[in-house]
Amino acid sequence: MTTAVPQRPEAPVVARGFGALRVPALAVAGGLAVTTLLAVVDPNQPGHYPTCPFLAVTGLYCPGCGSLRAIHDLVHGDLGGAMARNPLTVVALVGLAIGWVLWARRLWRGQPRSWAAPPALLYGLLTLVLAFWALRNVPGWTWLSPA
């Protein structure tokens, strides 16, 4: 009786621990570089950074307008200022930070991606962005505009 030895599927060699964290570390380095640049080179001074192309072409604010100034404000500890410039940026940064922690934890443990966000959440994000885009351009209502 020679039963074929069941082929044990070799588990793919997945790096874990510090070796797996190279890309997340790069992401942090990139984020720190951008943050440092924004902290040092003030986006409130005209001419330091390009104007948003959408704003330059259409004269309307896009969902990202004010994000550089918002980050500049955050680095200098001015949460209120950041919210006034672009609340979506503040929310997005929190989301990105949480996402980074989950991502790094998964890689650290050497696990494959196993969770997909519920689609409703993503369509909700889309709706939020589009609503924000529209609302910040309502004339005379400057609550959400970056100006």
Partner 1 sequence: MSDYGTPPPPPPPALGYNSGGMGGAPPQNYLVWAILSTVFCCLPLGVASIVFAAQVNSKWQAGDARGAAESSAKAKKFAMWSAIAGVVVAIVWVFFVVVVAALSEGS
Helix (H) or strand (E) holding 103: helix 87-108
Q: Does 44 bind partner 1 (CB under 8 A)?
A: no
Residue 108 in the binding site for partner 1 (CB under 8 A) = no
Lookup: tokens for 119: 């689609």
20 is a site residue for partner 1 (CB under 8 A):
no
Shortest gap between Cβ of 76 and partner 1 (angstroms)?
19
Distance CA 34, CA 140 (A): 33
State the minimum distance, in angstroms, from the CB of residue 80 to partner 1: 19
Of 147, 120, 123, the C-alpha closest to 136 is 147
Quote helix, strand, coil % in the chain, to nearest 5: 60, 0, 40
Both tokens assigned to 56 = 């330059």
106 forms part of the interface with partner 1 (CB under 8 A):
yes
What is the CA 98 to chain-centroid distance, rounded? 10
* 126 is an interface residue for partner 1 by CB under 8 A: yes
Beta carbon of residue 114, minimum distance to partner 1 (angstroms, whole number): 5
109 binds partner 1 (CB under 8 A): yes
To partner 1, the closest distance from the beta carbon of 147 in angstroms equals 15
Cβ atoms within 10 Å, residue 76: 12
Where on the chain is the footprint of partner 1 (CB under 8 A)?
9, 47, 49-50, 52-55, 62-65, 67-68, 86, 88-89, 92, 95-96, 99, 106, 109, 111-119, 122-123, 125-126, 129-130, 133
